[in-house]
Amino acid sequence: MTTDTPIHEKLDKLTQIGRKKDYKAFLYDCDGTLADNMHAHRAAYEKAAAKFGIALDTAIIDELAGWPTALIAQEINKRYGTDVPPVDFATLKSTIFFEDFIEHTLPVEFVVRHLKNHIGQVHIGVVSGGSRKTVSRTLSVIGLIDDIEVLVCADDTERGKPYADPFLSAARQLGVAPQDCLVFEDGNPGVQAAIAAGMDWVRIDKIV
C-alpha cells in the first residue's frame, strides 16, 4: 500500500466512496485491509514452506490474497510439484503466524478509522479467508473485535473467495440485500468475490 498520502486524505476519499450510495452494510476483509499484516503472513508462509522443504516465492501470497490457507497450500503443491497435505500446511502456517507474529499486528489506520466512524450508521461485517481463531485474535489486537456484527471466516462457507459465498453469507446474516453492501478489499480474489455477489467494492490499496 502507498504511504505517501496522509491518513486523513485517504480516509476522506474512502468516506466519499461510501456516500455514493445509500449502503446498509460495509463488509471489510481483514488481512491487508483492516490489519497491516501481509508481510507477517508472507513470512509465516515462507517459514512453514521451508519446514516442508519448499523454497517459497511469497509473491504467490499477494496473488492469492483472500484464499483460505488450505487452498493456497494446494496451489503451492501444484506449482512446486509437492504433495504436502494442505491441512497440515495450513495448521503449521497458522501456528507460526499465531505464535510469532499476531501480537505485533498494526491496523491499517485509515480503514480502521473508517469502520469506527460508521458504527451505528451501517451494519459492519468482516469477511476473511483466514481461520476464525486467527482472524478473531487479529481483530482483538487492533481493537475491533467488539465492533463487528458478523464475522465470516474460512470453513464458514463451502467455497471461499473468489466465490461469492462468504460475502453472501455475511449479507444474509445481516439481513441486507447484496446490492446494498459495499466491500473493502486489498486483493483480486476478494474483488472477484464481491463482483460475483453483486456487491460494490473498493480496493483500499488503490486509495492514493
Task: Please write the tens of the pLDDT for every residue from 104-146.
Answer: 999 999 999 999 999 999 999 999 998 899 999 999 999 999 9
pLDDT for residue 1 is more than 70: no
Q: What is the mean pLDDT of residues 89-96?
A: 95
Contact 127, 28 (CB under 8 A): yes
Determine the Cα–Cα distance for residues 160 and 68; give it in Å rounded to an integer: 7
Query: How many alpha carbons lie under 13 Å from residue 197 in its C-beta half-sphere?
Result: 33
Average predicted confidence (pLDDT) for the chain: 95
Residues with Cβ within 8 Å of 6's Cβ and at least 6 positions away in sequence, in order, are none
Q: What is the pTM of this model?
A: 0.86
Which CATH number is 7-37+106-206 given? Answer: 3.40.50.1000
C-alpha cell at 118: 460508521
Query: How many alpha carbons lie under 13 Å from residue 10 in its C-beta half-sphere?
Result: 21
Give the distance from CA 91 to its chain's centroid: 18
The domains of the chain are located at: 7-37+106-206, 38-102
C-alpha cell at 11: 480516509
- pLDDT tens digits for range 25-49: 999 999 999 999 999 999 999 999 9
C-alpha cell at 153: 471466516
| pLDDT-derived band at 65, boundaries 50, 70, 90 | confident
